[in-house]
Chain A
Amino acid sequence: MILAAISNSDAQAVGAVVAAIWGVTIAYVWILASKLRRLEQALVAAQAALDRAQSTDPA
């Protein structure tokens, strides 16, 4: 009954809006999360490199 009252173009428009919002949100979260992971790894690597440099520094 409810479905019959919904026109095809209306449902497509609402679907497109929901898909756009969820698509952008998921993509953004994924990009941010992978960037954070990469930065955390880079921070650990940089800290280790600094420790090595300081331990081999004769001064």
Chain B
Amino acid sequence: MERPGHAGYGLANYARCFKGIMWREALRHWHQRARFLSALVRPLIWLFIFAAGFRSVLGVSIIPPYETYVLYEVYIAPGLMAMIALFSGMQSSLSMVYDREMGNMRALLVSPFPRWFLLAAKLAAGTAVSVAQVYAFLAIAYFWEIEPPSPWGYLAVLPALILSGLMLGALGMLLSSVIKQLENFAGIMNFVIFPMFFASSALYPLWRVRESSPWLAFVCELNPFTHVVELIRFAFYERINFLALIVVLATATAFLSLAIMAYDPSRGMLPRREGS
């Protein structure tokens, strides 16, 4: 047995800590099962009501990865998967602010393990929940003929979902370091979630946006969420969008690095606020 006082932590100690953080997040979600279900309601409403209503208005031409004309529901399905990951990431951010207000965050941060490891473990736990939500969504959407060309698509999309979950979770973690109180969280909805979601290719292809406003299309291309959507869309069709992969990898690394810096007591923003 490794005593806590002996020099250095081994891999086994790290694994136990990682498992403990994952287990705690799993328990928390088990206690809040309604939250898991409510996270599915939002994309399902978009799929069954919004997409059905706009099916005849918004035609989608043949654009990669599609090789035929597709129904609007089929087009927006990857965007809705990305939407689940986006809301899940922001929900993690909300949880971290709540933990900070309730004092639970201190219990985590005074652990002797390196701060980056604790945050990465928490991020992995949030991503696992996000991926589970997407598969639950896909299971329901299957009955409305939203499915990949072959069953392998369900497996091929997994790495894209994990990477997207990590990227959006890291963004949520970074935002949690600058949100002072839970009450300020509404601002995240208005200034982060809505602009990211609507200024992307989630609901309409960018060539459509470009027709109306080249400037707006350029903004959409810069939006990392567009690349999350495209990464998932291509992966669902067992293809790789390399530009999207690079952008999502780069932004995930940047957001996580900034979040770790923000939670680092010597460099971050947390200690600068009295009583936080």
Does A pair with B? no
Which B residues fall within an 8 A CB radius of A? none
Q: Which residues of A contact B (CB under 8 A)?
A: none
